[in-house]
Amino acid sequence: MQLVEPRNMPPAPLTGSTLRQVFRITISGSRVRMRLSNIFSNGPITVASARLARSAGMGVIDPASDRALTFGSDTSVTIAPGAAAVSDPLAFDAPALTRLTVSLFIPSAPSEVTGHPGARTTSYLQPGNVVRATAMPDAARAERWYVIAGLEVVANDNPRVVIALGNSITDGRGSGTDRDTRWTDYLANRLAGDPRTRRVVTLNAGLGGNKVLAGGLGPTALVRLDRDVLDVPGARWLIVKEGVNDLGEARAPGSAAQVAQDLIAAFQQIITRAHARGLRVYGATILPFEGSQYGNAEQEAARQAVNAWIRTSGAYDAVIDFDAALRDPGHPSRLLPSADTGDHLHPNEAGYRMMAEMIDLVLFTR
């Protein structure tokens, strides 16, 4: 979650409208509860009615699955600025790798909204209380999530959670809308299909434009580590896929080398804090970015320095070498052309699949 920037706000006011949002879950369960967030907003938000259903595609729900969510046995909840809310547990059949919808009628909303701009999933916004509607053909659309922070599933068996902490590459920039083709989605598919790892839950904690140290979009990786990783129930493994924005924006002469040192120190802090909570931490190397908006010689040297530390320091419990998998063998400071969206920074869907397929699933049996 982050404060939604003005250019990513809903296409129509949230106030007085129904917001229907779609998301995919990666573990099976028979009881769920929805988490809503107003943590970055500047005023209270009221949800007067909320319903959960299976998605039938294009904003359409399966009406037979439609269920009301309650909050302290009430159908309505008002969330103060800086706060969050969780629904009462709801009996709901939630198979792994299925898409669900949550429909919220919001009679009162603040001018600043908490959300996730990089959803790459279509949300639907229509005036009035239409949370029970099977379809919303007149709704405005946005490829963003607002207010929802997650779905907690009481799993049918003992689940273990892997969390990917990252920036836009983990958030899935370059993947298709409504296609669930981020590298974490491909990883979730592989984990669910392997008997050794079918109980592993995949959570994507990517934020587009995110940085580790300072600036960027949303809270930095160091600031959000507790909320997005360490406080997550069942967290067992952490994949750290961060750093490219810190390096790429270090443009002053000599600054990239200093940022590389600071990144290494920050990664050591993340590892220490995660180990203290019993998590195994896997370091992902930083992908090539020559030819992109980043990519001068100093930035490339700094990237190589950070990657060398990730590979050889022994600080991580294991290394996931995305750089080795996606770099162009003939020009290793660039992305492999077949994996490049064309901006020379973000992989395309083929690249995301390659990232997921090079990960050894044995890492998630330890």
HEC string of 25-75 equals CCCCEEEEEEEEECCCCCCCEEECEEEEEEEEECCEECHHHCEEECECCEC
Could you tell me what percentage of the chain is helix, strand and coil, using 3-state DSSP and rounding each to the nearest 5? 25, 30, 40
pLDDT for res 10: 95
Residue 163: helix, strand or coil by DSSP? strand
| Nearest alpha-carbon partner for 25 in 96, 109, 114 | 96
| 189 has a pLDDT exceeding 80 | yes
Record the tokens describing residue 257, joined without a space. Answer: 């080398």
**pLDDT, mean of residues 116-128:** 97
pLDDT for res 170: 98
Determine phi and psi for 324, rounding to 5 degrees.
Answer: -65, -35
**pLDDT, mean of residues 208-226:** 97
| 277 has a pLDDT exceeding 90 | yes
| 252 has a pLDDT exceeding 80 | yes
Average pLDDT of the chain to the nearest whole number: 97
pLDDT for res 202: 96
The pLDDT-based confidence of 155 (bands split at 50, 70, 90) is confident
Q: How far apart are CA 97 and CA 138, in angstroms?
A: 28
The pLDDT-based confidence of 157 (bands split at 50, 70, 90) is confident
- Taken as a whole, the chain contains a residue count of 366
Q: Residues 248, 205: contact at Cβ < 8 Å?
A: no
pLDDT for res 25: 95
Q: How far apart are CA 334 and CA 288, in angstroms?
A: 5
Determine phi and psi for 187, rounding to 5 degrees.
Answer: -65, -45
**pLDDT, mean of residues 324-328:** 98
**pLDDT, mean of residues 275-298:** 97
**pLDDT, mean of residues 333-358:** 98
- The CA–CA distances, whole Å, from 133 to 23, 78, 104, 137 equal 18, 23, 12, 10
pTM equals 0.97
The pLDDT-based confidence of 225 (bands split at 50, 70, 90) is very high
| 159 has a pLDDT exceeding 90 | no
Q: Encode pLDDT of 124-135 as tens digits.
A: 999 999 999 999
pLDDT for res 145: 98
Determine phi and psi for 92, rounding to 5 degrees.
Answer: -160, 125
Q: pLDDT exceeding 90 applies to what percent of the chain?
A: 97
Q: Encode pLDDT of 164-177 as tens digits.
A: 999 999 999 999 99
Q: What residue spans define the domains of the chain?
A: 2-152, 157-364
pLDDT for res 82: 97
pLDDT for res 50: 98
Q: Encode pLDDT of 57-100 as tens digits.
A: 999 999 999 999 999 999 999 999 999 999 999 999 989 999 99
CATH number of 157-364, picked from 3.40.50.1110, 3.40.50.300, 3.90.1170.50, 2.130.10.10: 3.40.50.1110
Record the tokens describing residue 3, joined without a space. Answer: 């404060």
Q: How far apart are CA 32 and CA 87, in angstroms?
A: 9
Q: How far apart are CA 18 and CA 80, in angstroms?
A: 20
Q: Which long-range contacts (CB under 8 A, 24 or more apart) does 64-67 make?
A: 65/92, 65/93, 66/132, 67/91, 67/92
